[in-house]
Every structure is written in C-alpha cells, then in structure tokens.
C-alpha cells in the first residue's frame, strides 16, 4: 500500500462563498486596483483599504461568531485572498497575516478570557494582527530562537529581537514566540505570548525596503524589558513551538492563495497583451510560442488552486494537513513565479517597465517562495511526512 493516501475531499464552493468572492472582487476593482501601483511606488501602507476590508467583515474569517468573527473558514479565506492578491499582494499579505497568523492561533489556542479580550477587536479591525517568530539566527531553523522570556512574579519579561515582521509597525497585537526554558532542547523550551504593541518596551527597529510587496510593512522588533502579564501566555508553557507550527500550516495555505492571486493576474495581463500586441502583421497571441506559455500558465494555476483548496478544506475539517499545506505552498508559489516570469517575457521590454503591471507582479511573486517557510522547508515537511 502506498504511504500516501489519495486525499480528495470535495471542495465545491458554496453559494455563500461565491457571493463573498464576487463582493470582494468588486471591492478589489473599486477600492484596491486604482491605487495599487501608486502605493507600490510610494511604499504607502494601505491603512484606508484595511478599514474597508474590516467593514466587509474580512478580518475575522477564522474567528468564532461568539467572539465577533464570521468563522467562515479557511476555504473561504483562500478564495478571498486569491481575489485580494489579484489586485494587490501587499494588501493580500497584510490580510493573510492578520487572519491566519494572529487571529487564528488566538482562536485555536487562546483561553476564553484571551479570546474575549482580543478577538472581537481583531474581527472589527480595531487591532491589526502580526506574528513574530523569526530572529537573526532563527530563520528556517525557527526552533533556534533566542528572544528570552523570564518569569517575574505574575509577569514575563521579554528581551530580544525579531526580524521580518509583517505589519510589525502597524499592528496593535502580536503573537510573539520566546524562549521560556533555556535548559530544554530547542523546540521544547519555547512559549507563545499575546503582546499588545502599545506596551512599554515594545520597539520598532529597522523598516525594510523590499524588492516587492512595497506597500506592506516589514520591520525589525525589539523587546526591551517588555512586561507581559501571565494571563497573556498563549497555549501551554513551553508548548509554543507547536502553536507556531500549527499556525504556519494555516499561514502557508494563505501564501499559496496569495500565489494564486498573483498568478491569475499574470495570466490575465498576458492574455490581454498577447491579443493587443501586433508583430509580424498579427497579434502575438497567434504565435504558438505564446499560446504554449498561456496554456502552461493556466494549467499550473488550476493545479495550484486544487492543491490549495484541498489543504484549506482539510484544515476546516480539522484533519491534519501539514503536508498538504506544504504541497500547496511549494507548488503554488513556484507556479506563480514561473507565471510571473513568463508574463514579463510575453510583454517583452514593456513588461520590464512600470507602464504595465506585470513588473509589479514579478517583484511581488518572489517572496511567496520565501516567507512562511522557504520552498526547501516545504519539501522537507513533505519528505519527512513520507519517510518517517
């Protein structure tokens, strides 16, 4: 018998999700697309757009209704993220991190008190969420993290640095992973904390200037004697690595969905350009070399979407999906980068300029293979699950 079962849950989109998709598409066309290129140029954070997304109830998609969310789930979130990223991947990552890396772990691991205090505000968009795992010496090897949390009576005192934190200077709330037992083996001495960024000792450091996703913010965070009350320990003491990894299973479905959105934008732009652009007396769409590129881009997109929706449905059904999320992310992100590369190629010199959006898609696509676990880490997760 094969070690890998044939897992194909049905993932037809419900009427509710289709209506949501259409509504989000309308928001994207009206509110996001017209200013996307300018925001990218100006490195301008999409604060106003995030408010609109909150009004559209997109900030609490993984939050239970009892705590103010819609609890519509990971499949719906994937569909929404594909739409948003189609228009602007900077807005897309901000929304994805908020839902899947901050609201989700609090919903899944938080106490009733933590959920009551924070989830309604996250759902309303009063607080933007972030997730702080990575450190200078803990990138792919996240269990090597050093940011220290020391217990002093009824509170924890955090000291150390986090890097590459999406929305770190905009967020009101952050799930921060810290070492609470230095004697324990790497992953066994880590705990998760819910940190309000307004607390004393929370400092924003270097603001990264990035190749793509230029209107999302990515910053360094310093915790300098940052005091966190004991009641903000998220999950079990020294059980934080599992919180981090479980959260990333969901986050990776989000980044796979982001890849779908950028990919589809590349495909649509390429089809449009290929029909308009004339060379050798005919639209370049008439040439087989262009047709094959378009055909491969479309086939890859469908395959990537099926993998992504499968992982999302499994997560919604509480079926373990680390492998499937890793498959979705590694396949969708690489397919997206191939599509972005081909989209620029189809546009020729025009695609290398700011006159056409594929230049932005090309820059934005690159990160999908890097954050929330580089492609080789996804392959490691897949391979370990097969070889154990």
Cβ-in-10-Å burial (0-12, 13-18, 19+) of 322 comes to buried
Q: Given the complex with ligand CAA, which of 300 and 372 has the nearer CB atom?
A: 372
Reduce the DSSP state of residue 310 to 3 states and report it. Answer: helix
Instruction: Compute the residue count for the chain.
Output: 388
Q: Given the complex with ligand CAA, which of 30 and 384 has the nearer CB atom?
A: 384
According to CB under 6 A, which one of 140, 278, 279, 353 is a site residue for ligand CAA? 140
What separation in angstroms does the CA of 334 have from each of 11, 14, 341, 372, 378? 23, 28, 11, 14, 12
Shortest spacing between CB 273 and ligand CAA, in angstroms: 31
Alpha-helical regions (H) of 31-135: 33-42, 47-55, 74-87, 89-96, 104-109, 112-124
Q: Does 60 bind ligand CAA (CB under 6 A)?
A: no
Shortest spacing between CB 190 and ligand CAA, in angstroms: 9
135 DSSP 8-state letter:
B
The vertex-209 CA angle with 208 and 211, nearest 5°, equals 125
Q: Given the complex with ligand CAA, which of 204 and 271 has the nearer CB atom?
A: 204
According to CB under 6 A, which one of 134, 161, 191, 330 is a site residue for ligand CAA? 134
Reduce the DSSP state of residue 283 to 3 states and report it. Answer: strand
Q: Which of residues 271-330 bind ligand CAA (CB under 6 A)?
A: 322
Shortest spacing between CB 122 and ligand CAA, in angstroms: 16
Q: Does 82 bind ligand CAA (CB under 6 A)?
A: no
206: enclosing H helix or E strand: strand 202-207
Q: Does 142 bind ligand CAA (CB under 6 A)?
A: yes
Q: Does 133 bind ligand CAA (CB under 6 A)?
A: yes
The vertex-75 CA angle with 69 and 79, nearest 5°, equals 95
Antiparallel, parallel or unpaired: β 278-279 and 148-152: unpaired
Q: Please identify, among the stretches 113-121, 173-181, 286-294, 372-380, the one whose residues bind ligand CAA according to the rule CB under 6 A.
A: 372-380
83 catalytically annotated = no
Q: Please identify, among the stretches 7-15, 34-42, 138-146, 358-366, the one whose residues bind ligand CAA according to the rule CB under 6 A.
A: 138-146
14 DSSP 8-state letter:
P
- Number of amino acids touching ligand CAA (CB under 6 A): 24
Q: Does 256 bind ligand CAA (CB under 6 A)?
A: no
Query: Which residues are at the interface with ligand CAA (CB under 6 A)?
Result: 97, 101, 131, 133-134, 140, 142-143, 165-166, 187, 241-242, 245-246, 248-249, 322, 371-373, 377, 380-381
Catalytic residue list: 372
């Amino acid at each position: 018998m094969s070690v890998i079962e044939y897992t194909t849950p049905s993932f037809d989109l419900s009427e509710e999700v289709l209506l949501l998709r259409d509504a989000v598409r309308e928001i994207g066309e009206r509110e996001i697309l017209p200013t996307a290129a300018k925001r990218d140029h100006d490195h301008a954070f999409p604060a106003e757009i995030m408010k609109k997304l909150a009004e559209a109830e997109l900030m609490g998609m993984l939050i239970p209704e009892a705590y103010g969310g819609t609890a519509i789930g990971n499949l719906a979130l994937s569909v929404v993220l594909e739409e948003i990223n189609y228009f602007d991947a900077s807005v897309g990552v901000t929304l994805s991190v908020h839902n899947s890396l901050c609201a989700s772990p609090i919903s899944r691991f938080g106490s009733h008190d933590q959920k009551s205090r924070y989830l309604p505000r996250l759902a309303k968009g009063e607080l933007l969420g972030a997730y702080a795992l990575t450190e200078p010496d803990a990138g792919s090897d996240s269990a090597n993290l050093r940011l220290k949390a020391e217990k002093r009576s009824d509170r924890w005192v955090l000291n150390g640095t986090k890097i590459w934190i999406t929305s770190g200077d905009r967020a009101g709330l952050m799930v921060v992973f810290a070492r609470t037992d230095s004697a324990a083996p790497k992953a066994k001495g880590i705990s998760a904390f819910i940190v309000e960024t307004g607390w004393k000792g929370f400092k924003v450091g270097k603001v990264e200037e990035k190749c793509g996703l230029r209107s999302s913010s990515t910053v360094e965070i310093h915790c300098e004697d940052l005091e966190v009350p004991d009641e903000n320990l998220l999950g079990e003491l020294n059980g934080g690595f599992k919180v981090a990894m479980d959260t990333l299973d969901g986050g990776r479905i989000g980044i796979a969905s982001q890849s779908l959105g950028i990919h589809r934008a590349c495909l649509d732009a390429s089809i449009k350009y290929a029909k308009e652009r004339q060379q050798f007396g005919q639209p370049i769409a008439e040439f087989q070399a262009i047709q094959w590129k378009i055909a491969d881009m479309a086939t890859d997109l469908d395959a990537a979407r099926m993998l992504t929706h499968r992982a999302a449905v499994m997560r919604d059904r509480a079926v373990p999906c680390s492998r499937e999320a890793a498959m979705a992310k590694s396949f969708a992100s690489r397919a997206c980068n191939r599509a972005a590369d081909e989209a620029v190629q189809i546009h020729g010199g025009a695609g290398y300029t700011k006159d056409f959006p594929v230049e932005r898609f090309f820059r934005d696509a690159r990160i999908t293979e890097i954050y929330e676990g580089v492609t080789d880490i996804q392959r490691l997760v897949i391979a370990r699950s097969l070889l154990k």
